[in-house]
Chains A and B, each alone.
Chain A
């Protein structure tokens, strides 16, 4: 098993290398959330926004007057995928007119590309959601090429992470309780200490994606669509405020797409305690 690297040489594609590359891609998609919530006649898309790094609506690529593709993750990879999608659109447009560009066609091709790259241990670090206002369901495309379809809403990112600050503090408490000074032991701690430390570790894991899904499912209930734009904006805003992990810039952008037009609003969350987590995360 080998994977071709960008210099044209060959890399040995071991299971460990493959798993590491999948982890790198997942890391690129990251712990922060992008939420797309459908409402009657449109869709509201919300995510964190840093005006020093991001342009307005830069994660949204319009396909036609009723279809969008929204990405989240590595910006360079997203632009590459958008170029690929635009080429597909041009190909169909030249052959049989733009009217016959369908999301299913674009999704199938994009999924093939992502899966192929993932299998070669060169995954794209981006997840996509394809939205067509004329269709009942949105299609979520993971970085490994897997497609998930659902009605109501789509959530990208929000991968699990450890709250390291909490982990450190609670571990100190457990060690102090057992009279063990932090800073290393010359011997293995007793099993009950290990068990308590494991429990602390599990409690430190945050699941923004899962929490966001639960919140949105409660908001939607049995409905396929929210009734109004304001309700959709409210749903996205509340979910982001509650579940998006803290970061340096607590600004968010919510863009609505309706009747072929975009409108964006911005809001800020009160700064929360910073995480002492991996600085490579967004």
Chain B
């Protein structure tokens, strides 16, 4: 799988799925840490993509547009399983249309799709490659340059029975570990985008809370290392104290 500069991940938890992504958008030697990579496709489905921004945006827009047109024709909502097939066909179409130019121009998007399937009453996640290969994962998937670090942590810590709060914390922790990679924004600087999809719909974790969780983990790591160079209180709390 192509390693594109980012880290996005998805995993199942007790009531649905979590889809999370870092905020870094890299432009050669420069980066921006304010780019949101996780989107809600509908009220039960989420998509996150690694890759060239243009390709990523077009992929998400195409999926939404084609899904809406098809729902209009068949007069039935298309859930995550149907959207996964649709996304696969869109990627295959892109691959055959663009051919090797995709790689020369680096015009690539590698998505992760996660959502709550009301027919099976559980969360489902789908990983892809850039040519449209699809695989449904029963547990978790990560994509991007920080994939290895994120998946290593999920190998150790993931549990299908996680409650929402613990699942959100795990997502932040996984991105934090992945941020050893240069192309993944550290969650202590830019809050991780964490969405969950469950029977009740799609919801985003509060960004302030995501930052606090990240700082909490960061400080605990520092304590464990015996690092005394860090201030005793987090910068945000210090601002409040003044």
Contacts and interface: CB of A to CB of B under 8 A. Distances in A.
Interface of A: 92, 94-97, 99-102, 104-105, 108
Interface in B153-201: none
A99 B89 contact: no
A105 B81 contact: no
Among the interface residues B74, B85, B89, which one has the most CB atoms of the partner chain A within 10 A?
Answer: B74
B109 to A, nearest CB: 19
Interface in B80-127: 81-83, 85-86, 89
Contacts of A105: 73-75
B76 A96 contact: no
Contacts, number: 33
Contacts of B82: 96-97, 99-100
B148 interface: no
B135 to A, nearest CB: 16
Interface string B47-84: 00000000000000000000000100111101001110
A197 to B, nearest CB: 53
B74 A92 contact: yes
A79 B70 CA distance: 26
A102 B78 CA distance: 12
A100 B89 contact: no
A95 B75 contact: no
11 contacts: A92-B74, A95-B86, A96-B70, A96-B82, A96-B83, A99-B81, A100-B78, A102-B75, A104-B76, A105-B75, A108-B73
B72 to A, nearest CB: 10
Contacts of A99: 81-82
Contacts of A101: 74
A104 B81 CA distance: 21
A95 B73 contact: no
B78 A96 contact: yes
B133 to A, nearest CB: 16
For the complex of A and B, the 5 pairs showing the least CB-CB separation, nearest first, are A96-B82, A105-B74, A104-B75, A102-B74, A96-B85
B121 to A, nearest CB: 15
Contacts of B74: 92, 100-102, 104-105
Given A96-B85, A101-B74, 17 more contacts: A92-B74, A94-B89, A95-B86, A96-B78, A96-B82, A96-B86, A97-B81, A97-B82, A99-B82, A100-B74, A100-B76, A100-B78, A100-B82, A105-B73, A105-B74, A105-B75, A108-B73
A100 B81 CA distance: 10
A143 B83 CA distance: 35
B85 A97 contact: yes
A100 B74 CA distance: 7
Nearest to A92: B74
Contacts of A92: 74
Contact of B85 (A95, A102, A104): A95
A97 B134 CA distance: 14
B126 to A, nearest CB: 13
B67 to A, nearest CB: 8
A94 B92 CA distance: 12
Contacts of B70: 95-96, 100
A104 B75 CA distance: 7
Contacts of B83: 96
Among the interface residues A96, A97, A101, A108, which one has the most CB atoms of the partner chain B within 10 A?
Answer: A96
A94 B86 CA distance: 9
A101 B78 CA distance: 11
Contacts of A94: 89
B40 to A, nearest CB: 19
Nearest to A109: B73
Contacts of B86: 95-96
A211 to B, nearest CB: 35
A94 to B, nearest CB: 7
Contacts of B85: 95-97
A104 B73 CA distance: 8
Nearest to B75: A104
Interface in B173-232: none
